[in-house]
Chains A and B, each alone.
Chain A
Amino acid sequence: MGSFKKLIRLSENDNVLVVCCNIEPGEELQLENVRYVINEFVALGHKIALKDIAMGEPILKFNVVIGSAVRDIKKGQHVHVHNIKSDFIPTYTIDNQKS
């Protein structure tokens, strides 16, 4: 398992990558000769930015738009509910629950 890659790009045009195991802060990952410095914990299956993404830009995974950035995202940063949003129905989490 140690030799197995920790990052995958699901489709050619994607601007996010998927991590294949839990990544600890400070880890450096490499894919296709590009290095990514990860400064936060990123769990298995979660996404990181393949390159800098500007606020409002669409997020592409499997070459399909899965939402858009609500703030600028730097290359290597965790891409999730804190920095992207659905273009259809808002995502519900326990933290944003209206009481």
Chain B
Amino acid sequence: MELLGYERKDGRKGIRNVILVAYLVECAHFVSSEIAYPYKKDGVQVVGFGGCYPNSHASKVMTQLCTHPNVGAVLLVSLGCESFNRAKLAKDIQASGRPVETLVIQNCGGTAKTVKKGQAWLQSTISKLMDTKRVKIGVKDLVVGTICGGSDATSGITANPAVGLTFDKLVKNQAIAIFEETGEMIGCVEDIVARAKTRNLGMEIQNCLNKAARYYTIMGHGSFAPGNADGGLSTIEEKSLGAYSKSGSAQISGLIKPGDVPPSAGLYLMDVVPDGEPRFGFPNINDNMEITELIASGCHLILFTTGRGSVVGSAVSPVIKICANPDTFRKMSDDMDVNAGKVIESNVTLQEVSEEIYDKIIETASGVPTVSEKLGHQEFVIGYKTFEPIGPNCLVG
């Protein structure tokens, strides 16, 4: 299948042509939603950061999302008194060649006037974006992330190892593949470290996983929800084992942090646990925070495995949902793209399911909407975090 992407002026190539309405504090969220609502079918989506206090991680994630390859234009909506540096964000978006406009609610004269101005800008921008240049793209142009959510004991037997095989094929075909959930690798550390391309990268990964284990221990709570236990997962080690299998068997080319875009093809681990002493609470308050961070690191699409049955999608990049549990699939098939649970109930192999996932990636990259896109899902959340930049050993050339 020939794939046609959207070429941006900065050279990046997307698989969707999204216009973002981005609020810079929760106080501008409602106005942003009002602006965007009538244009949902035209590819207008709402993202934003709710906090009034500054945070470098949140700024980085917002900048990366507003200049993401799937994004063609951005309307920034500010209340006016929050601390987000809106001028810098607008400048960075402009430098990427994307149309950008900033509306400050306090200067526009309130809700109704801002909504009117915002919608007028959207109308002219939607027609401009229709002319975005289309270019041929291949698997080697794709960045694919993976996450599991609402895991149960079938996740680690069906959907996760199937995604692992898909990841192996993506890496073999020169794509960039990113896995994360460093809080769900407890008990798997030796195996992960041994897969690093260099010894120094292995040590960086070891430190990153030690940091995650320590962080979660201080929080007094593993990355574990009651539904995981209902679904047959007894311990965080057992959940980790299943989660880790999504990464497949390729060598690991690098360790990145949210918002770092991998420089070349290969498999990357994203460190989602903040550096330093715990300051802002749990590292990832829900699945969508991790999805948002994966997308900030350039993911064009996300492979989301679920056993209990999650319904979420995401803003900016499509989410392909792979259901691990055959009972859940029967109950919630309207929310699932791939049924991996058939591995348990029939003679379908993991390899066959992984091919199905791979084909779904190509289909989604060609423009066919995923189930969560069709249903209109655009979940999104950014939290407060603190990160140091990655060290020189984290990326293997």
Query: Is B235 an interface residue, CB under 8 A from the partner?
Result: yes
- Alpha-carbon gap, A94 to B216, bound state (A): 19
- Taking CB atoms and an 8 Å cut-off, the chain A residues in 69-98 that contact chain B are 79-81, 84-94
Contact A44 B213 (CB under 8 A): no
- Alpha-carbon gap, A85 to B236, bound state (A): 9
- Nearest chain A residue, comparing its CB with the CB of B326: A44
- Alpha-carbon gap, A52 to B271, bound state (A): 40
Query: Is A37 an interface residue, CB under 8 A from the partner?
Result: no
Given the interface pairs A43-B232, A47-B232, the reply to whether A88 lies near B345 with Cβ below 8 Å is no
Query: Is A29 an interface residue, CB under 8 A from the partner?
Result: no
- Taking CB atoms and an 8 Å cut-off, the chain B residues in 222-261 that contact chain A are 222, 224-226, 229-232, 234-238, 241
Which residues of B are found within 8 Å of A79, using beta-carbon distances? 234
- Taking CB atoms and an 8 Å cut-off, the chain B residues in 132-188 that contact chain A are 152-154, 156-157, 186-188
- Alpha-carbon gap, A67 to B237, bound state (A): 7
Which residues of A are found within 8 Å of B220, using beta-carbon distances? 89
Contact B221 A89 (CB under 8 A): yes
Which residues of A are found within 8 Å of B186, using beta-carbon distances? 88-89
Given the interface pairs A4-B345, A62-B241, A67-B234, the reply to whether A45 lies near B325 with Cβ below 8 Å is yes
The 10 closest A-B pairs by CB, nearest first: A45-B153, A86-B235, A89-B222, A46-B232, A66-B238, A67-B235, A45-B232, A45-B154, A66-B237, A94-B226
Besides A59-B234, A89-B221, 6 new A-B residue pairs in contact (Cβ under 8 A), listed by A number: A44-B154, A44-B325, A45-B307, A46-B232, A66-B237, A92-B225
B222 touches which one: A21, A47, A84, A91 (CB < 8 A)?
A: A91
Binding site for A on B (CB under 8 A): 152-154, 156-157, 186-188, 213, 216-217, 220-222, 224-226, 229-232, 234-238, 241, 307, 325-327, 344-346
- Alpha-carbon gap, A46 to B222, bound state (A): 20
Query: Is A55 an interface residue, CB under 8 A from the partner?
Result: no
Inter-chain contact total with CB atoms closer than 8 Å: 105
Least distance between B340 CB and chain A CB atoms (Å):
13
A89 touches which one: B226, B236, B346 (CB < 8 A)?
A: B236
- Alpha-carbon gap, A43 to B221, bound state (A): 25
- Alpha-carbon gap, A46 to B234, bound state (A): 9
Which residues of A are found within 8 Å of B216, using beta-carbon distances? 89
B241 touches which one: A18, A66, A90 (CB < 8 A)?
A: A66
Contact B345 A65 (CB under 8 A): no
Contact A61 B232 (CB under 8 A): no
Least distance between B1 CB and chain A CB atoms (Å):
33
Contact B237 A87 (CB under 8 A): yes
Query: Is A31 an interface residue, CB under 8 A from the partner?
Result: no
